[in-house]
Structure 1
Amino acid sequence: MKKKGIWVIIIVILVAGAVFMVNRSYTTEKPIKAMYISDEEDNSLMVDQDTGNIFTVTMPDKILDKNGKEISKEELKNGNIVAIYGDGIMLESYPGQYPGVTKIKVLKEGKTSDADQYQELLDQIYPGKDPAELPYLNICYTTSYGEVSEALPAAQGGYSWKYTGKGGTVQEIAGDSTPVTNWKDISDVNIEKMTDMELLFDTTPEKIIVTAFPAELIGEADPVAGAEVETEKAENKYILKDVRENMLYLIRGEWENGWVEYGFKVAGYDKG
């Protein structure tokens, strides 16, 4: 199985003559004051106005303008200064990742020219994606041990994908879809109790189907049918509900271009 890299790949970029990595926890009482910057491909970054740190956010359902009126993500403008509320946990990467955002409020409507200084940085972090590259998936969860958020790349299984190549010709690629119980290379997640997990795709699918199998079926070439698991969609992410120990999860994402399967295994922490 082919494993994709972390959703925001750790890269080294020279910024103002120094290379740095975001690795900090914010308090939940005080929001982060940041500048919003984005490009035409709907990629975006936040720039902490106190520290200068660069990070990405998982957009919340609740986004407010400076008058407190609810707006959509598309209504945020380059250069806006916003207050970002959430659980305060920043994932360790560069740029940082803040998946636990609960609310964003516009404090000041900045000018597009204010964000121009960051355009080159945005282009470096989000280079144009190869149309032949399949979407990838990361699983984000919070452990009760130390309350640390973690992001784990899901293993990739079968797929069927089409894209427009050079010269405008439509290309099609496909990979064998073997049962997830028979995958040789699959990601392991350790949890202490039943929990919800965020499924973070780099390109949000139109639909997902999640099926759970008992981990005891690993190695079975023709396993019994699994049970479909409840999910919720919130903006550009999906929430996988009630993830349990000793289970194997198969996620099928469906896009206009085709479908891709992903999987991960859940075990419990050794309590001995």
Structure 2
Amino acid sequence: MKKENAVIFGVTGVVVAAVLIGGGIYMKTERDRNLNADTASTAADSNRAEEVQKAVFLAEDSGLWYLGDLEHGNIYVTHTPSDTLYDENGNAIDPSEIKKGDFLQVEGDGIMLNSYPGQYPGISRIMRISGGTEADAEKFDEELSRILPEKDPSEIPFLNLCYTQPNAQVTAMATQGGYTWSYVDEDGNGQNVVADSAFILEWTELSDLHTANDEGKTDLELVFSEEPDSVTAERWPAEDRGQNFGNGYPEGESVSVEHAESWSIPGAEAGYIYEVDAVFENGTVSYGFEVKK
């Protein structure tokens, strides 16, 4: 079974150091492997005053905003804001109203995760301020092109799972399973790829999500690197993983998947293994993860 992993906000099982904004030296790696799985942001001290900085909006991709730090000249990323974005007059606005080159006042806990590009999950408020043109954003274009290269048509879309823990937003990479994928290569030839996968309860690798609450439930936002046409999901009790399925595989329980501004699974429950199947223009891909307390 072929598996490919991409990353967002840290690396599973590794404690990520935090540094103040503008500090730290960031190791340069490929974009899809420098944004990874299941590491919560470091919580700021409750008595610490929020820090304010000025940034320019560069781009949005797969549920992330790419911002240029106008003081230090580097690029960092954060989740696309939902209810923390305001215009010059303090009125709440939709992220779609922000354009490349807009100047932003960014307020937050001042803690940047040590990665490349820098990751700033502790933002509490973003306000559009006067000034700013595309020319201000173009100063970052060369670096941004290395972080967001042109998509390879043979690349299989990945799935990030975004959810909230106390004092932190977490993004984890779902484990990729089997897929079918068709594309046209650089020579103009059509290619068809099929990668089979074992039954999900037999997967040796599976991403873990920790709800960190008494209810053991969490709302999951499904952020795909490429927008799918449709998404379905099923789940199985985690205790069934690794059992002998000689008499046939157990049937999964259908899970509700909602689609408004993004795809989501409301109330994903601890103690279950989930499989998500997504249909794209070029094929279908399955993903899996386990929800734990």
TM-score normalised by L of structure 2: 0.71
Q: Residue 57 of structure 1 corresponds to which residue in structure 2?
A: 78
Alpha-carbon distance in 1 for matches of 2:76, 2:165: 22
Q: CA deviation at 1:180?
A: 1.0
Contact 1:197–1:240 at 8 Å: present in 2 too? yes
Alpha-carbon distance in 1 for matches of 2:229, 2:113: 26
SS at match of 1:166: coil
Q: Residue 13 of structure 1 corresponds to which residue in structure 2?
A: none
The answer for unaligned runs of 5 or more in structure 2 is 12-21, 28-40
Q: Does 1:4 align with 2:5?
A: yes
Q: Which amino acid aligns with 2:279?
A: E
Change (3 A) 1:41 1:20: closer
Q: Residue 184 of structure 1 corresponds to which residue in structure 2?
A: 204
Q: Does 1:226 align with 2:252?
A: yes
Contact 2:179–2:283 at 8 Å: present in 1 too? yes
Q: Does 1:174 align with 2:194?
A: yes
Give the alignment's Cα RMSD to 1 decimal. 3.7
Contact 1:30–1:85 at 8 Å: present in 2 too? yes
Q: Residue 156 of structure 2 corresponds to which residue in structure 1?
A: 134
Which shows bigger deviation, 193-202 or 210-219? 193-202
Q: CA deviation at 1:115?
A: 1.5
Contact 1:61–1:102 at 8 Å: present in 2 too? no
SS at match of 2:140: helix
Q: Residue 245 of structure 1 corresponds to which residue in structure 2?
A: 270
Alpha-carbon distance in 2 for matches of 1:92, 1:213: 36
Contact 1:210–1:250 at 8 Å: present in 2 too? yes
Q: Deviations over 1:171-218 (max 9, x none)?
A: 111111432112122122333321122323222323221211111221
Q: Does 1:115 align with 2:98?
A: no
The answer for unaligned runs of 5 or more in structure 1 is 11-15
Q: Residue 56 of structure 2 corresponds to which residue in structure 1?
A: 35
Contact 2:219–2:264 at 8 Å: present in 1 too? yes
Q: Deviations over 1:216-266 (max 9, x none)?
A: 22135443222222334454x433221222110101122111110000112
Which of 41, 57, 79 is 2:101 aligned to?
A: 79
SS at match of 1:167: coil
SS at match of 1:228: strand
Q: CA deviation at 1:3?
A: 3.8
SS at match of 1:114: helix
Change (3 A) 1:167 1:42: farther
Identity level (%): 33
TM-score normalised by L of structure 1: 0.75
Alignment map for 1:85-104 (pairs within 5 Å)? 93-98=115-120, 104=126
Q: Does 1:209 align with 2:229?
A: no
Q: CA deviation at 1:101?
A: 6.8
Q: Residue 259 of structure 1 corresponds to which residue in structure 2?
A: 284
Q: Deviations over 1:83-139 (max 9, x none)?
A: 457898865532234568787542224111111211111011112222111011222
Q: Residue 19 of structure 1 corresponds to which residue in structure 2?
A: 25
Change (3 A) 1:24 1:157: closer
Q: Residue 37 of structure 2 corresponds to which residue in structure 1?
A: none
Alpha-carbon distance in 1 for matches of 2:108, 2:141: 26
Alpha-carbon distance in 2 for matches of 1:232, 1:91: 31
Q: Which amino acid aligns with 1:186?
A: L
